[in-house]
Structure 1
């Protein structure tokens, strides 16, 4: 796990206004160093080869070379770089393609600065990051894809109560509804949810769902919208 010094970041997006906004936000972070920016996948590869960043944040759709093609190339050549895909709400197939190409996480373009920081830190530490606005459908699509960051990890053990909570979470049941169903307080359910997240090293509900499905703790019957 990398733990020392600033996290060196390169961003890639063909929209200058979006890049400028992201650049301004990153430059205000004390432990993140923005070292370059690129307009497309080819320029991104050139910048990465020259500067060897810790993290890359790249748009999915770009001219000359798209995000998935650049990600696949970079992952094969520089497997330790944490790549984060930037996407829009309706780009499910592109998100899956990015993850299967080697991205370690993804963010929607409306993510706030705290989530962007969290995503950068997560992939820097070689842990996956799933946007907190991930739908149940997308979480299940990710879980059923070839993307699997848990292959080398030891299987976790969960109590019967935790397994029950995991199932409810994967089915989209709220903490209040879970509490009513199993006759516990909402506070107790939230405490169990946090314990599950800590065990899984998950950052949010999407992380719980994807981990649970990938590791056989939940088997969805169908995709939920």
Structure 2
């Protein structure tokens, strides 16, 4: 049995993918997540074979979810799907620990092939991004992880950064993360310093540029 976790904040997308995946003999969708934080929690709880993640989810984006799943559930392979046909983003996705990169316009045709490849621990990438680029990148190995766009930030700082960029106030972020407002303010100050930002607008631009939130 291949156990699959689906994470996307759009119910219609999740239901469509679930129908396609469960049409395969021996495959089951063992969990569905509406946002990034829920995806991480379900992955830790269910230990799926494959996690299929949207790149632009609320609370935690797909890149951060991938990092956390790979850190806590190393046996779970991650397939990221996105609307963006970007070699730069593809590099970030694989640096975060994913093994598959699927363009959403290809999902209906290739989701089964993508998941099948990951069950055999083989990489999968949509045809719009060349296999040559992928091969060269994979040979560089995990050393690339240190070069990711926001690699100087800790996981907690990336989480706070995303919530700030999504427009949440310090008090709401503190409540969501079960931290004090002073702690969130401290995180915010450190984040601004690390990324060289002076205003919230600078922070939002950074988040969009590094695919932490969608533009």
1:25 to partner: Cα distance: 1.4
1:90 to 1:125, Cα distance in 2 relative to 1, 3 A: closer
Q: Which of 41, 49, 67 lines up with 1:46 in the alignment?
A: 41
2:57 pairs with 1:62: yes
2:76 pairs with 1:73: no
1:112 to partner: Cα distance: 5.0
In structure 1, how many angstroms separate the alpha carbons of the residues matched to 2:39 and 2:15?
16
Equivalence for 1:126? 121
Equivalence for 2:105? 110
- Give the superposed CA RMSD: 2.2
2:32 pairs with 1:33: no
In structure 1, how many angstroms separate the alpha carbons of the residues matched to 2:14 and 2:139?
30
1:149 to partner: Cα distance: 8.5
After superposition, residues 193-204 of structure 1 pair within 5 angstroms as none
In structure 2, how many angstroms separate the alpha carbons of the residues matched to 1:44 and 1:74?
9
Secondary structure of 1:106's partner?
strand
Q: Specify every segment of 5 or more residues in structure 1 that has no aligned partner in the other structure, as ranges.
A: 1-5, 152-225
Higher alpha-carbon Rg: 1
In structure 1, how many angstroms separate the alpha carbons of the residues matched to 2:139 and 2:28?
29
2:5 pairs with 1:10: yes
Bigger Cα displacement from structure 2, 114-123 vs 49-58: 114-123
1:11 to 1:149, Cα distance in 2 relative to 1, 3 A: farther
Kept in 1: contact 2:85–2:103 (CA 8 A): no
What TM-score, normalized to structure 1?
0.57
Kept in 2: contact 1:128–1:149 (CA 8 A): no
Equivalence for 1:212? none
Cα distance per residue 1:132-188 (max 9 Å; x no partner): x2234xx4554454x44889xxxxxxxxxxxxxxxxxxxxxxxxxxxxxxxxxxxxx
Which is helix-richer, 1 or 2? Answer: 2
Q: How many pairs does the alignment contain? A: 142
Q: Which of 129, 139, 149 lines up with 1:135 in the alignment?
A: 129
2:87 pairs with 1:99: no
Kept in 2: contact 1:9–1:32 (CA 8 A): yes
In structure 2, how many angstroms separate the alpha carbons of the residues matched to 1:77 and 1:101?
13
Kept in 1: contact 2:85–2:128 (CA 8 A): no
Q: Specify every segment of 5 or more residues in structure 2 that has no aligned partner in the other structure, as ranges.
A: 143-215
